Structure formats: structure tokens, C-alpha cells
Amino acid sequence: VRFPEDLEDDNTTFNPEYSHQVFGDDEVAFGYKGLKILLYYIAGNLSTLFRIQYTSKVNEKFDCVEADDVESKIREIVPPGFCTNTDDFVSLLEKEVNFKPFGMLLHTYSIHNEEAGEDIIYQIYKADMTCPGFREYHERLQTFLMWFIETASFIDVDDERWNYFLVFEKYNKDGATLFATVGYMTVYNYYVYPDKTRPRVSQMLILPPFQGEGHGAQLLETVHRYYMSSPTVLDITAEDPSENFVKLRDFVLVKLCQDLLCFSPGKLMQGFSQEMVMEAQQKLKINKQHTRRVYEILRLRATDMGDAEQSRSYRLDVKRRLIGPYKKKQRELAKMRRCLRPEELTNQLNQIDLNMQHEQLEESFQQLVSDYRRVLERLAQA
């Protein structure tokens, strides 16, 4: 909500992707007809209005069953201090002009908006719990995780090893410049013996109205650049990354790596090298596993897949990496031969069918090439 009229505007409304973390695996609120759970957030500081509407509700006295206590379920994730009255909320909206982003400005960028016919300015900030008002703001911000990340959980904000990166949009209202929350990322700094840290991306969310505009890539690249400048950072990882995050990371890391000398077309065609691993880690804080994916994507770009020899060479190179888990199974099988009874061994052998392995390998390769091509297409447009 930026303007009072947004309260009645369906265009500014978005629905949750998940509600099982609040309403159970069936995602059902029992006992209501026409139930609407309404959560409004002021665009900048995320002050909240919470309302429930329904046309009818079962009654314990007459229907002998009790309706779910929807309000208490919502109260478990929405911090205290929210409004239940529209007038109170609108009066808070008038004070929004005083809201300013928290922490240190890291990056400013603009994206052209076709609808508005102009470039819109966005800024990325790094904040921590010492910023006045940030703790309360973060409590409101993290409520979105429950609706948009499948296995979300709230973090321990008293642990000083957390870093917070926030994206804001700058917009005008009655001649004043205001800020709207676009999304954020939390990063945990793990200790690596003897004197390094390994930042690990924990949660990342771009709010639905802003998705598909390139903010995720801007945020991830900014965070990478922030840590790249630190001599104590070993490399940057992510905790249990989703498929979408892996695709985003592929794009950002390839964009960062493509100008490194070790990734020149001539060197790519010679195969994956220790030089690539060293340079990507030292200059860009990228670990070996991610560097290997970057190499495969850039080598695909340098390969003429219409040339039988180049295509075969690329396919074998990628499949040698993909076959790793299957080779591990073969080693396990060799151990089994020595210690399993014949009938147990037959059972295990049935699970490791070689033809099936080759099919799975080819399928994995084709899927990978398809994902890599999408990264290269996006790179060509960037």
C-alpha cells in the first residue's frame, strides 16, 4: 500500500504460494463460508493491517463443531502492534514520508517500466540489528517467508553473524521521495579455520509484484561484489538452494566470470582446469563446484554444437562429471560382492541397471544443456 486507494485496488493484491506452514498440509481453514484473510502492508516500513471477513461461520452451540481459530494462527507469524482498523492504518500511511532505508547503500540501478513510460530507480542496502528500528521492521518483513518459501523458518536475529541485504524502490508521492520494499536476502557468515569466513545465502525473496524484473540478479550480484572485496572471505555458498535460485546463480556467476582470462575460448576448449578454480575463488569468491558449472556454460557458448567432433568432446566432458554418482554406486557394488549373500546381491543389482543409468545420464545431460542455453540467452540480452 502506497496510497489510501490501494486498499481497494485488486491490482496491488497478491496471493500466497504456500499456506501449509500456517494452516497444515491440507491448507484448509475449517468452519467458514466465504472466508477472506486480508493482510495489508505499508510499502516502505511494512506496518500491517490485519482483517478477517466471512459470510458465515459454524457454531459450536448449534453445529456441535468448532471453527478453526484463524486469527490466532495469523498472530503466530505477524508480530504484535498491527492495526485492525483501516483509519488507524491510513493515519500511519501519512507518516510513511519519514521512512528511510536501513543501513549502508551498496548499489543503485534503474529498470525501465513500460507501463509508467520511465526508468524507476532501485537501491540495495546492507543492514544489521544495530540500525534503529530495523529489528521491528525485519519482524514484519520475514512474515512473507511463510507464504512464499516452502520450508521457511524465522532466524535467530540475536546472532551477530547474520547480514541482511535489502532492495528498495524509490517513488514520488506529492513531490516527496519515498521508498517501497522490493525484497531481501539473509546471509550467515560461517567460520572457516583458521581465519576465514564462508558467507552462506540462507533466504532470498523478491516480493511477487516485483518478480521477473531482474531484481534477484541485481541483489545476488551486489552481495557477491560486497564479499569479493573482503580478504577474509573464502567463498560464497547457499543453503539448500531451490531450482530457481540455482538458475539465477548460474546467470550471475557466468556474468562475473566471463571476462576472466582463464575462461577465454581457447582455454575453455582445453577443459576444466585448476587455474579456473584458483582464479574464480581468489577474485570472485566462487567455490570449485560452482566454477565447474560456469565452465560448462561458457564452454557451451564457445562450442559449435553443429560440429560433430566439438559436440562429442563437450558431451563427454560434461558426462564425465555427471557419471560421478554412478561410479560411486559401482564402487559400493564391488564392496557388496565381497560381503552380501547371492540373493541380496541380486536384489541390489536389479536396482543398478546399466541401461537405465545410460538413459538417466543422457536425460540429465539434455536437461542441463537446456538450462545452460537459457542462461546464455539471458546473458546475451543483459
Chain centroid offset of residue 118 CA = 28
Coil vs helix vs strand at 77: coil
Assigned C-alpha cell, 22: 500456517
Q: Which residue matches cell numbers 585448476?
A: 274
**239 part of the active site:** yes
Reading the block at residue 345, the C-alpha cell is: 546381491
Determine contact, residues 43/76, Cβ cutoff 8 Å.
Answer: no
The radius of gyration of the chain from alpha carbons, rounded to an integer in Å, stands at 26
Characterize the bridge pairing of strands 162-173 and 32-33.
Answer: unpaired
Residue with cell 543483459: 382
Measure the CA–CA gap between 146 and 142, rounded to whole angstroms: 8
Give dist(CA 342, CA 348) in Å, integer: 10
Picking from 251, 256, 233, the residue whose alpha carbon sits closest to that of residue 187 is 233
3-state secondary structure of 210: helix
Report the alpha-carbon distance of residue 85 to residue 75 in Å, rounded.
Answer: 16
Rounded to 10 degrees, the C-alpha dihedral 257/259/265/266 comes to -100
Neighbouring residues of 142: CB distance < 8 A, sequence distance ≥ 6: 154, 155
Q: What is the distance between the alpha carbons of residues 58 and 67, in angstroms, rounded to a whole number? A: 6
Say if residues 120 and 171 touch (Cβ distance below 8 Å).
yes
Q: Which of 27, 239, 344, 359 is catalytic?
A: 239
DSSP state of 231: T
Angle between the 288-302 and 354-381 helix axes, to the nearest 10 degrees?
80
Catalytically active residues, by annotation: 239
